[in-house]
Amino acid sequence: MKLLLHTCCAPCSVQCVEALRAEDIRPDLFWYNPNIHPYTEYQARRDTLVQFAADSELQLLMEDDYGLRSFIAGLNGSFGESGDGSRCAYCYRLRLDKTAAYAAAHGYDCFSTTLLISPYQKHDLIREVAEGMAEKYGVQFFYRDFRPGFREGQKQARERGFYMQKYCGCIFSEEERYLGKRE
């Protein structure tokens, strides 16, 4: 099976890759995260993922697009005070659309995402968005609930000296981190 794994960061990738390898699946990693801000955060996550891919002997494909302005413009009011996750839905759609399109265009059987490991992400929404992208591009979404491996993956990432982020990545989640609230 040829699987393209959207990767948000190296710490989230560790256990996802390990779980997939346990199923005899060797994914290719795909970096596309224009939501991550500021630029120094984007660089730290990207560079740590490059290190992880090399150390793990995995192919890393990169859409290296730092996209603050286009990300903010694309939100078009999606981050309102309603707390309904609409800004997150936009973010998931943006990244998974690019991943599914790449997978379909480059002969992958399926795609997935490391976002499915985080207990802080909107798991059901990620799955819904990914299934929509699978239908849109005619490529299978490979679903796995990686969350049981989250803590172990974080532990392994720390042991390996990986950069460990403190928020999901977008400028709004960084603000929430400082204000002590979470959407």
Backbone angles phi, psi at 9, to 5 degrees: -175, 165
* Number of separate domains in the chain: 1
User: What is the pLDDT confidence band of residue 77, given thresholds at 50, 70 and 90?
Assistant: low
- Residue 16 belongs to domain spanning: 3-179
Q: State pLDDT tens for residues 14-55.
A: 999 999 999 999 999 999 999 998 899 999 999 999 999 999
Query: What is the average pLDDT across 115-122?
Result: 95
Q: State pLDDT tens for residues 58-68.
A: 999 999 988 88
Model-level pTM? Answer: 0.91
**CA distance linking residue 12 with residue 95, whole number of Å:** 16
Q: State pLDDT tens for residues 119-151.
A: 999 999 999 999 999 999 999 999 999 999 999
Q: So what's the pLDDT on residue 82?
A: 43
Q: Tell me the CATH number at 169.
A: 3.40.50.620
Q: State pLDDT tens for residues 147-178.
A: 999 999 999 999 999 999 877 777 777 667 77
Q: So what's the pLDDT on residue 81?
A: 45
Contact assessment for residue 90 and residue 97, using Cβ atoms and an 8 Å cutoff: no
